[in-house]
Amino acid sequence: MVSRLNPVNSVRTLFFTAFCCLLLLSVLGATVSAQDATGNIDQQQVLYPAAFFERYKPNTALDMVQQIPGFKLDDGDGTRGFASSAGNLLINGRRPSAKQDLPSATLARIPASQVDRIELIREQSQGIDLQGQSVLANVYLRTDLPAKVRWELWAEHNQAAPFKPGGSISMSDRLGSIDFITGIDMERDTSGWTGTESKYNGNGVLLEAGPTDRVEKGFRINSLNLNASSWLGDNFINLNSRLTKDKTNYLQPNSSTSPANRIRDVIIRSTNKNFEYELSGDIGRAFTETLSGKLILLYNNKDQGSDSSQENLDSLLGRTLLRTADTDTERQEQISRLEFDWSGYTGHAVQLNLERAYNVLDRGLVQTDNKGLGPVNVKVPGANSRVNEVRYDMLLQDTWSQGNLNLDMGVGAEASTLEQTGDAELKRDFSFLKPQAALSYKSEQGNQTRLKMAREVSQLDLTDFVSATVFEDDDLALGNPNIRPQTTWVAEVSQEQRFGKEKVIKLTGFHHWIHDVLDLLPLSPTFEAPGNIGDGRRWGVELESTFPLDWTGLRAAKLNVRALWQDSKVTDPVTGLDRRLSNDGGGTGYRTLENLNGNIHYHFRVDYRQDFEQARMAWGWTVADRDKRTLYKVNELDEYSEGTAINTFIETTRWFGIKIRLEAANMLSYDQHRERTLFTGERNLSAVGTKIIRDRRHDISRFGLFLDGNF
């Protein structure tokens, strides 16, 4: 066996200890000052006027929303359908009807001067459908302002990738009775890493080792948008359009040398092209004083192409392999949705949502292998397939308000037909009931206790049905046409304490009973695919909080703390023993410093910010860490981990009203660590054959300059 000392263990311990101490001190401070924070919070809404955000010198509505105490903007989970991707944002009391145009991107195009106020909605009110969210941010915009242009320029540099410039510009204005926002966001797409990869046999003897690196560069139009809205008689109409396009080339040479000085090189090249556009719109009206409705229509189309090659070179044998793979993928999504709200009974708000979604994934793969005798076509099972899904979704819900109590009760139903053609031929029908209930109690001080019980049905990822080639691992990612949706009974209890408008502590405990767990299902002694492996459980606790630090002597300073601990259990289909659920986060780094996977064992993030209003300056830092992510394959244990991430920034608006921001990211230059343990037979039931350890410095300490202004 190979042992590895992690050089950042002591750093993790130090930061975790500091985090606990800061949390304890802030809680004590919150307790001491709670008596000063009564009478200024509505039981259902917390109102933040534009003046509340002045000390942060915001340039966009996104700058403002990101400073709301105890609130985290949700960009949606990206699954098929509309409701689960709508996020927790309202604009003038209405949900954006776009899907791929994320709420954060929409807010980034709105100048801060256009925001009149932001309201946190924590219960059903004003005919607004929470759609499973515990809190919404409702951004109210002014319409009495002249045209406004918002712009941003940025440049990033790290030692492992080419220089990365970018920029965006957007304009908001009114043309007659039509309000519109249009903008474009583009950048040079670059990234890279350097590192080493070592291979050992089952006894821990080094077989080969060497450097590995990757450079990726291209050009990306992140978004070209036009959003317009207007009243037409008694109807409010909203139209959205979005286009993205990119082309990226990457080169990944890996070199390894054995103790006998035999050199092997594996050179991977790829060109990736993506083109996507989305058109959506909605029309809503009030039919009577108690009945209103909305129709939402959406169409999305995405074309992806990838031309890849792998060349294996041996110092003794010369070129041993030239592999090529050309992949073309087309995705489409069409959504039709009706929403009705009725408040005919006092104290009740009834909602009815009806949705039809049509999804298509069509993939073609042509692969050849040349081992010295010329190219030979390789048949990858399940790689040339078309998957269609038609899904109908319904939700009927009643919210009953009685004093400080709110009871949400509803029942949903889902029916779908999924058909696959090509390499696999299969057609299946699914239907599910989705009951839900939530009980909340609000005190006069704005504190809230909430209990929730619901059955949730996961939306299948259509890419799990088709196969693909993984050059880097010399492996196949097989698809599985027999996947069923995973269903989960969710139980949650949460307590939110608000001490005034700035100090918030929210603690949530949860337990999930999962049926048909989606994990990696063994297909043979050497291959696995996404599939259902039985029933499992997941439970844990989550903390979200904002702590002003004025009581410590740090004026205009605050901490945002988010932390998650959870555990899980499922019966391993290979060993028959209990284990945790697999994590599919893989090698994704800390680019966003977020928990990117629902099965992570622990994750925490601490953000510090201090504003100096008279000097028009601010500075801050972020510390984040998370547990390793493990994939349980049939003959392999695949583990990813990395060190503690630290970012820092300083910004000012002293000159011409332009926000100048300097960022230093990944200050510790953590190694992204991957450890693959390959067994001679089935995992943990046979001897270890080889162990491959890879350490990469992904995006070594990045430095960025950002200029942001409007006129």
The residue among 157, 112, 165, 118 whose CA lies nearest residue 140 is 118
Rounded Cα gap, residues 251 and 471, in angstroms: 12
Look-up of token digits 């959003």: 227
Q: Could you read off the pLDDT of 614-635 as tens digits, one per residue?
A: 999 999 999 998 898 899 999 9
Q: DSSP state, 143? A: S
Q: What totals of helices (H) and strands (E) does the chain contain, helices first?
A: 3, 36
Q: Is residue 287 part of a domain?
A: yes
pLDDT of 125: 58
Q: Are 629 and 583 in contact (CB under 8 A)?
A: yes
SS3 letters across 615-644: CCEEEEEEEEEECCEEEECCCEEEEEEECC
The residue among 63, 26, 122 whose CA lies nearest residue 505 is 26
For residue 425 the two structure tokens come to: 């031929």
Query: 94-125: b or e for each residue (b if 16 or more CB lie within 10 Å)?
Result: ebbbbbbbbbbbbbbbbbbbbbebbbbbbbbb
pLDDT of 105: 86
Q: Are 152 and 168 in contact (CB under 8 A)?
A: yes
pLDDT of 95: 82
Rounded Cα gap, residues 121 and 135, in angstroms: 6
Q: Could you read off the pLDDT of 435-485 as tens digits, one per residue?
A: 999 999 988 777 889 999 999 999 889 999 999 998 888 888 899 999 999
Look-up of token digits 């300059």: 705
- φ, ψ dihedrals at 32, nearest 5°: -65, -40
Q: Is residue 499 part of a domain?
A: no
Biggest distance spanned by C-alpha atoms of the chain: 84
Q: List the single range of 81-90, 210-219, 271-280 with lowest mean pLDDT.
A: 81-90
699: confidence class by pLDDT, cuts 50, 70, 90: low
Neighbours of 470 (CB within 10 A): 9
pLDDT of 122: 75
Q: List the single range of 75-79, 243-247, 672-676, 705-709 with lowest mean pLDDT.
A: 75-79
Give yes or no for residue 678 having a pLDDT over 90. Answer: yes
pLDDT of 16: 42
The residue among 398, 434, 403, 401 whose CA lies nearest residue 416 is 434
502: confidence class by pLDDT, cuts 50, 70, 90: confident
Percent of the chain with pLDDT over 70: 88
pLDDT of 549: 94
Beta bridge partners of 568: 538
Task: Please give the average per-residue pLDDT across 191-218, as a whole number.
Answer: 92
Look-up of token digits 């145009």: 101
Q: Is residue 323 part of a domain?
A: yes
pLDDT of 25: 38
For residue 19 the two structure tokens come to: 């985090």
Give yes or no for residue 194 having a pLDDT over 80. Answer: yes
Task: Please give the average per-residue pLDDT across 503-509, as a whole number.
Answer: 94
pLDDT of 38: 30
Q: Could you read off the pLDDT of 153-165 as tens digits, one per residue?
A: 999 887 777 889 9
Sign of CA dihedral 166, 171, 172, 177: negative
Q: Which residue has the higher pLDDT, 20 or 647?
A: 647
Task: Give the domain extent around 325.
Answer: 157-346+354-378
Task: Please give the average per-residue pLDDT across 413-438, as a whole number.
Answer: 95
Q: Is residue 622 part of a domain?
A: no
> To 5 degrees, how large is the angle CA 119–CA 103–CA 89?
25
For residue 44 the two structure tokens come to: 């259902």
Terminal-to-terminal C-alpha distance of the chain: 63
Neighbours of 222 (CB within 10 A): 17
pLDDT of 520: 93
What are the respective helix, strand and coil percentages of the chain, to the nearest 5?
10, 60, 30
Give yes or no for residue 39 having a pLDDT over 70. Answer: no
Q: Mean pLDDT of all residues in the chain? A: 87
Task: Please give the average per-residue pLDDT across 361-384, as a whole number.
Answer: 95
Q: Is residue 537 part of a domain?
A: no
Strands of 103-175, DSSP E: 115-121, 136-141, 148-158, 161-175
The residue among 473, 483, 466 whose CA lies nearest residue 327 is 466
Task: Please give the average per-residue pLDDT across 600-613, as a whole number.
Answer: 93
DSSP conformation letters of 552-566: GT-TTEEEEEEEEEE
Q: What is the CA radius of gyration of the chain?
A: 27
Amino acid at 467: S
Give yes or no for residue 94 having a pLDDT over 80. Answer: yes
The residue among 673, 587, 703, 693 whose CA lies nearest residue 7 is 673
Q: Could you read off the pLDDT of 557-598 as tens digits, one per residue?
A: 999 999 999 999 999 999 999 999 998 655 554 445 565 557
- φ, ψ dihedrals at 37, nearest 5°: -125, 55
Residue 667 CA to its chain's centroid (Å): 23
Strands 636-642 and 629-632: antiparallel
Q: Is residue 165 part of a domain?
A: yes
Look-up of token digits 């592999």: 323
Rounded Cα gap, residues 427 and 387, in angstroms: 10
pLDDT of 677: 96
Rounded Cα gap, residues 191 and 194, in angstroms: 11
Rounded Cα gap, residues 527 and 523, in angstroms: 6
pLDDT of 44: 55
Q: Are 505 and 550 in contact (CB under 8 A)?
A: no
Q: Are 448 and 496 in contact (CB under 8 A)?
A: yes
Q: Is residue 328 part of a domain?
A: yes
Q: Are 562 and 605 in contact (CB under 8 A)?
A: yes
What stretch of H or E contains 646? strand 645-652
21: confidence class by pLDDT, cuts 50, 70, 90: very low
Q: Are 381 and 364 in contact (CB under 8 A)?
A: no
499: confidence class by pLDDT, cuts 50, 70, 90: confident
Q: Cite the DSSP H helix spans in 272-352.
A: none
392: confidence class by pLDDT, cuts 50, 70, 90: very high
Give yes or no for residue 100 having a pLDDT over 90. Answer: no
Say whether pTM exceeds 0.85.
yes
Residues 6+ apart with CB under 8 A from 587: 640, 672, 674, 698
Number of domains present in the structure of the chain: 1
Q: Is residue 212 part of a domain?
A: yes
82: confidence class by pLDDT, cuts 50, 70, 90: confident
Neighbours of 687 (CB within 10 A): 9
18: confidence class by pLDDT, cuts 50, 70, 90: very low
For residue 648 the two structure tokens come to: 């820092």
